[in-house]
Amino acid sequence: MGSTVLTGIGSLVTNDPALGEGPLGLLTGAALVLDGERIAWAGPADRAPAADEAHDLGGRAVIPGFVDSHSHLVFAGDRTAEFNARMSGRSYSAGGIRTTVAATRAASDTALAGNLARHLREALAQGTTTFETKSGYGLSVEQEARALRLAAEQTEEVTFLGAHIVPPEFAEDPAGYVALVTGEMLTACAPYARWVDVFCERGAFDGEQARAILTAGMAAGLTPRVHANQLSYGPGVQLAVELGAASADHCTHLTDADVDALAQGSTVATLLPGAEFSTRAEWPDARRLLDAGATVALSTDCNPGSSYTSSMPFCLALAVRDMGMTPDEALWSATAGGAAALRRTDIGRLAPGARADLAVLDAPSHVHLVYRPGVPLVSEVWRRGVPVA
Ligand code: NIG
Ligand code: FE
């Protein structure tokens, strides 16, 4: 695989302040040189070094591929009826997860892998080049291990979420389920996963149970991330920061102490506006977190219950319209922010040495992703230096 120079880039987001203007390291009239899987050079077009091949982008914008650091894509079935009921006034509850658990348990490996592949293709076409995905709709030793094995065949970022809810067969014995998750299930699942997650929420797992699950996961070599403070105030965010979790996800109901903890600690606040959109809930306050100095990521939370979108551009538009972010902040959070939430430095930026994962927009700048909501502007996607969509 030789080198390729991408010329005629109307505007280029590098996410490297040393290469261009502002936190996005923005360059206009730029070129990029890809060498194999990596970025070899980024800068003004008139100084671009020669390469084996040239590809003229005709003034289109280039951004780093989106890093979707939170999704739940190993599932079967859908929850249209539940969505319809919500849009007629019912509220969201974690209990709906059981519908997807039943459908997922009954599905074949082929059906689950096919469904996952379809959603990953859909996301890729919308500019997402890195996807995290979780188990959590199996909730038995065999089913959780199967979900993670299938996920690991299609993505490098896999999260063990055996503690999504207590399954029906343990309804009378939640402590027994926590013992299973931290024991036999963890042993069977840890080899396939990089991360351990828990849904810390009323109706799911409380602070004490979440701590037991996360610390057991850490002892098995996994790094924690937490579904925290989604439906109500609670201990999730503080626990995430205390344990040095990579990310606290949702962060919809935050006290001042929660915001301070996120600002002081190393845990990224991952906001998932698709969930508030699809559950008609109040929006997380991105502005408050950013002003306090927290690192904010944006992701889809793509799942059949609370947020059935694979579209990062849609999430950017919501975050700007309703969560107080600027288009530049939203773009950063959906790329470099997602990389930070996955503790990755090789993705989420287009600087020498980074992976050549990028999206070409049918627009002169990244702002159009938000300025023209709902318009499919992603016209080319390159992953590891190769055009893939
Ligand atoms: O992140 N909050 C917990 N889990 C998912 C929803 C899962 C579902 O409703 O199926 C979420 O929103
Ligand atoms: Fe989630």
- Is the pLDDT at 283 greater than 90, yes or no? yes
Residue nearest to atom 6 of ligand 1 (CA): 306
Span 21-33, average pLDDT: 98
What CA–CA distance (Å, rounded) separates 109 from 96? 23
Task: Give the pLDDT of residue 95.
Answer: 86
Span 161-185, average pLDDT: 98
pLDDT above 90 covers a percentage of the chain that reads: 99
Span 136-143, average pLDDT: 98
Task: Give the pLDDT of residue 308.
Answer: 98
Span 280-309, average pLDDT: 98
Q: Which residues of 113-125 are buried (b: 16+ CB within 10 A; e: fewer)?
A: bebbeebbeebbb
CA 300 from centroid of its chain's CA atoms: 6
What CA–CA distance (Å, rounded) separates 361 from 368? 9
At residue 94 the predicted structure's pLDDT band, cuts being 50, 70 and 90, is confident
Query: Measured from the CB, is residue 41 less than 6 Å from ligand 1?
Result: no
Interface confidence, given as ipTM, is 0.97
Span 352-356, average pLDDT: 98
Binding-site residues sit at 70, 72, 79, 137, 164, 227, 230, 301, 303, 305-306
Task: Give the pLDDT of residue 159.
Answer: 99
- Cβ neighbours of residue 130 closer than 8 Å, sequence gap 6 or more: 65, 66, 67, 68, 69, 155, 156, 157, 338, 339, 342, 344, 347, 348, 357
Task: Give the pLDDT of residue 249.
Answer: 98
The tens digit of pLDDT for each residue in 199-214 reads 999 999 999 999 999 9
253 alpha carbon – ligand 2 mean position (Å): 15
Span 7-11, average pLDDT: 97
Task: Give the pLDDT of residue 261.
Answer: 98
79 alpha carbon – ligand 1 mean position (Å): 12
Structure tokens at 6: 């991408």
The pick from 277, 306, 308, 309 for probing ligand 1's pocket by mutation, whose C-beta has the most ligand atoms within 8 angstroms, reads: 306
The ligand placed nearest to the CA atom of residue 274 is 1
At residue 1 the predicted structure's pLDDT band, cuts being 50, 70 and 90, is confident
Span 47-58, average pLDDT: 96
Q: Using only the alpha carbons of the chain, give its radius of gyration.
A: 21
Report the chain's mean pLDDT, rounded to a whole number: 98
- Is the pLDDT at 350 greater than 90, yes or no? yes
Beta-bridge mates of residue 133 = 158
The ligand placed nearest to the CA atom of residue 164 is 1
Q: Are strands 223-228 and 195-200 parallel, antiparallel or unpaired?
A: parallel
Span 63-71, average pLDDT: 99
What CA–CA distance (Å, rounded) separates 271 from 277? 12
Span 152-167, average pLDDT: 98
Residue nearest to atom 3 of ligand 1 (CA): 199
- Cβ neighbours of residue 234 closer than 8 Å, sequence gap 6 or more: 200, 201, 202, 207, 228, 253
Other Cβ atoms within 10 Å of 207 Cβ, number: 13
The tens digit of pLDDT for each residue in 217-265 reads 999 999 999 999 999 999 999 999 999 999 999 999 999 999 999 999 9
Helices within 253-360 (DSSP H only): 256-264, 273-279, 286-292, 312-322, 327-341
Span 273-284, average pLDDT: 97
Binding-site residues for Zn(2+) sit at 70, 72, 227, 301
Provide the whole-model pTM: 0.98
